[in-house]
Amino acid sequence: MEKKKLFDNPTIKEDIPNNFLGIVNVLQENVDMIAKYKYKNDKCPPSFTVSILYGEEKADDRIILTVTHGDSFSKQIFPKKSIYDYEPLEKEIEYLYNATVW
């Protein structure tokens, strides 16, 4: 059975024992789907990337969402300080996109 590549980026090690990698793939697929729909009429659509910011301890790892649309901005989307701080993924995407257009 052939090993499925997690990322096309050769700088990312595929053997990293980190549960975030599967989550990152799922989030990236959803971000791509949302962005494709929301910005389908843009002449220069934004690019969104879900990534991991590794901490000193595994418990310090963070999931980051980055937009590139001329400028680049990033925002931590997981974990948040409180359950009340979580926004729908679409709102996180809108927030970052709007930061690039003003």
Give per-residue pLDDT as tens, 55-77. Answer: 888 788 899 999 999 999 999 99
> Quick one: which of 78, 48, 75, 82 has its CA closest to 63?
78
Residue 27 is assigned to a structural domain of this protein: yes
In a domain, 12, yes or no: no
Q: Is residue 3 in some structural domain?
A: no
Q: Which amino acid is at 16?
A: I
- Asked whether residue 13 is domain-assigned, the answer is no
Count of structural domains within the chain: 1
In a domain, 10, yes or no: no
Q: Tens of pLDDT along 12-69?
A: 445 454 555 688 899 999 999 999 999 999 999 999 999 999 888 878 889 999 999 9
Residue 61 lies in a domain: yes
Q: What is the structure's pLDDT at 20? A: 54
Angle at 37 between CA 82 and CA 68, to 5 degrees: 65
Instruction: Find the domain containing 43 and state its range.
Output: 20-100
Q: Quick check: is 54 in a domain?
A: yes
